[in-house]
Amino acid sequence: MQASLANGAKGEGDNEDLHFADTVKGSDWGCDQEVARMFAQTAPKAVRELAAWGVPWTRVTKGPRTVVINAQKTV
């Protein structure tokens, strides 16, 4: 799950407008933009609420990462 939380490894400058734009661009402009906007606006609160309930999110750790972009692994 991704959300504009502005506290991740690259969270500085992250915001719901960028998250919305990335979602629309990532869908090749095929998503329902009204729904994408709603998710971009509500996801941060939902993620924090679920974390408070004890959902075991994967946390960022030091070391190399595997990045997957459009189903292609990169390092």
Q: Assess contact for 11 and 2: CB atoms under 8 A.
A: no
Q: Looking at residue 10, what is its pLDDT?
A: 53
Return the ∠ at Cα 43 (arms to 68 and 9), rounded to 5°: 45
Q: Looking at residue 24, what is its pLDDT?
A: 92
- Tens digit of pLDDT for each residue in 2-54? 555 655 555 567 788 888 998 899 899 999 999 999 998 998 888 889 889 99
* DSSP reduced 3-state for 4: coil
The residue behind tokens 């504009």 is 4
**Cα separations (Å) of 37 from 18, 43, 48, 57, 69?**
10, 10, 18, 23, 22
